[in-house]
Structure 1
């Protein structure tokens, strides 16, 4: 008995000591998963980190060290897993869970990973609190989302669209819960993560007030510093600001500068051949171009492609007769960096003096916005 007690105490001390230097994740799942693999994935200092452990006697152990608190993922799967999920049903069936990882001791307890309670560290405690606050709304949304999925599969577009107002209303309520969480927890990595998640396209008037709520410690994290830099760019490329100049090669390899188009209404259109929403939007852009191309209007499309053949084929297939430029560096396109473009499609409409007068116009918005300035 004494030997067993000493062994248990030594194990706890070892677990605690490791947590001080790094992290330990001690998991317990149903024995039926013995021999399966638990995968741990996270991004640390800009690099993807992957680790794994085999379930033995219903238990697994993962250890490591992170530079700062990160959002991580645990996934349970057979050693010889099949192909990756290809549809919504298969994706929902994946046995996984996200959590906040830091250098601390963690426990994972449940029948499987998806339903397990993951505890350990201050950030994860905050995350569990936020999840508990969102759960009533998620419970309301789940059956509606499932119903919409079924209607979509049945190609019942009218009934599917009729559900959007209900889903949108729930999402608005969820945003309010998240907003309150940020206000009440300005020094939490969870608040930082929520704000980072809203940074796909940064609108300074909406984004900056919440970013300013963050504590100095959160602003000084790598993510916080990156968001501050992106916010600064967003403010420089906001409506009313002079457009940032650039020069990039066209499809023939000839440099084209934005400055050469001054005096015209200009749409800077960020897109890519592989971007489905961009290609779907092209007919709307083409319609506006055909109406205003002879009325002091031009488009300069900046492609985030990295393969010239695909870029040129998309231009030809979609019949896009305006100016096209690219450095073929994909997401590292230098013009995209100047405008902090992290998602496509995005666009900026400039007045003849080079000032940004509108942003991210979709559908009929581009044509109607141009009609305000250019009279027939």
Structure 2
């Protein structure tokens, strides 16, 4: 699956296929400005990932299948993709390529999920505003803003707990929990996991989610980074322990990942600013084609160390940490301990300013 539009889109995790009689889902769509003659529908059924090719004529398409329960799906267009939930019955998809505006009707599960995330919108907008303010303030003036950010995070967390205790569709509950774990870490995810009913915890999907969290535990804050070794583009082995004594930013990315390539200028800016203060970067590519990897390095002009085993999503280091989507990052302290995860955009610069106690 070689497209990453937003990290949230590719958090295609472990969703449900609770035992039931299979029923037909009929998906009908019309998207203005869609020129492609084929698009893809990616969906998860328990542990299995399916990708179906759908024919398109004049922006209109149709797809049907028999499913036993609601499933998480992504409609993948040539330059965009969006996530929604399918269930037995008739579902309509509409949209406009020019505005990147898409909508779904006919899925109660999708309506339930959208209603929950809409209830968080005011908080997430306020959170973004505070992060912008934080970036503009001098380091010594940031404490009150950080207090407000923690309060918002707590309120969002409380709403997530209430949602899970309201007995939502299992597919929504499991998706929320795994997304939380991937974005915020093992402890945050397990806190929500404990809200699940015993029957859902003991289901095949619940057990698989718990197993995934055991892998995620390896990137828990305070964990020590193993002594990984991977080759650079010129074939030279790079030992990760050779960076001990400096703060090390590990950036999991790929040449085909749109979001990763958009993030590279932010990493470059941080690298130039802090490289003389015992800060370094290693890029871990999950490419499987050396020419694509080489071309991206040239185009994006990334001067830091780059490694890959060219095994794609089976990259040894990504597999060890259970990386399911890129971009994904880890920040390691001079003693080799993990101190932050998934720092992107302004959050990386803010964290480094906090470490080195400086501001612009």
TM-score range, shorter chain: 0.5 to 0.7
- TM-superposed deviation, 1:251: 0.6
* Pair 1:365–1:220, CA change in 2 (3 A): same
Correspondent of 1:48 among 50, 62, 73 = 50
Residue 213 of structure 1 aligns to a residue whose secondary structure is coil
Residue 327 of structure 1 aligns to a residue whose secondary structure is coil
Please list the CA deviations of residues 100-132 of structure 1 after superposition, one character each: whole Å capped at 9, or x if unmatched. Answer: 4xxxxx66599x9x655x7xxxxx7xx489479
Asked if the contact 1:269–1:346 (Cα under 8 Å) also holds between the matched residues in 2, the reply is yes
Please list the CA deviations of residues 1-53 of structure 1 after superposition, one character each: whole Å capped at 9, or x if unmatched. Answer: xxxxxxxxxxxxxxxxxxx98424398x9xxxxxxxxx99854341428699x
Asked if the contact 2:249–2:281 (Cα under 8 Å) also holds between the matched residues in 1, the reply is yes
The residue correspondences of 1:173-192 to structure 2 (distance < 5 A) are: 179-185=161-167, 188-192=170-174
Matched, 1:350 2:332: yes
Please list the CA deviations of residues 149-177 of structure 1 after superposition, one character each: whole Å capped at 9, or x if unmatched. Answer: xxxxxxxxxxxxxxxxxxxxxxx999976
Residue 201 of structure 1 aligns to a residue whose secondary structure is helix
2:192 equivalent in structure 1: 210
Distance 2:324 2:248 in 1: 21
Correspondent of 2:242 among 260, 271, 274 = 260
- TM-superposed deviation, 1:207: 2.0
Distance 1:26 1:280 in 2: 36
Instruction: Show structure 2 runs of 5+ residues with no match.
Output: 1-18, 29-39, 55-63, 95-103, 123-153
2:285 equivalent in structure 1: 303
Distance 1:182 1:24 in 2: 26
Asked if the contact 1:134–1:174 (Cα under 8 Å) also holds between the matched residues in 2, the reply is no
- TM-superposed deviation, 1:358: 2.5
* Pair 1:71–1:260, CA change in 2 (3 A): same
Correspondent of 1:247 among 229, 232, 236 = 229
Matched, 1:236 2:218: yes
Distance 1:204 1:267 in 2: 19
Asked if the contact 1:189–1:218 (Cα under 8 Å) also holds between the matched residues in 2, the reply is no
TM-score (norm 1): 0.58
Asked if the contact 2:255–2:292 (Cα under 8 Å) also holds between the matched residues in 1, the reply is yes
Residue 331 of structure 2 aligns to a residue whose secondary structure is strand
Instruction: Show structure 1 runs of 5+ residues with no match.
Output: 1-19, 30-38, 53-61, 76-83, 101-105, 119-123, 142-171
1:363 equivalent in structure 2: 345
Asked if the contact 2:329–2:341 (Cα under 8 Å) also holds between the matched residues in 1, the reply is yes
Residue 183 of structure 2 aligns to a residue whose secondary structure is coil
The number of aligned residues is: 282
2:71 equivalent in structure 1: 71
- TM-superposed deviation, 1:212: 1.0
2:24 equivalent in structure 1: 25
Please list the CA deviations of residues 179-208 of structure 1 after superposition, one character each: whole Å capped at 9, or x if unmatched. Answer: 433113289444234434545424234322
- TM-superposed deviation, 1:215: 2.2
- TM-superposed deviation, 1:216: 2.9
Distance 1:259 1:361 in 2: 21
1:99 equivalent in structure 2: 86
TM-score (norm 2): 0.61
Higher relative contact order (CA 8 A, sep 6+): 2
Matched, 1:333 2:332: no
* Pair 1:251–1:218, CA change in 2 (3 A): same
- TM-superposed deviation, 1:288: 2.6
* Pair 1:133–1:290, CA change in 2 (3 A): closer
RMSD value, Cα: 4.7
* Pair 1:329–1:99, CA change in 2 (3 A): same
* Pair 1:244–1:230, CA change in 2 (3 A): farther
Larger Rg: 1
Distance 2:206 2:21 in 1: 22
1:79 equivalent in structure 2: none
* Pair 1:129–1:309, CA change in 2 (3 A): closer
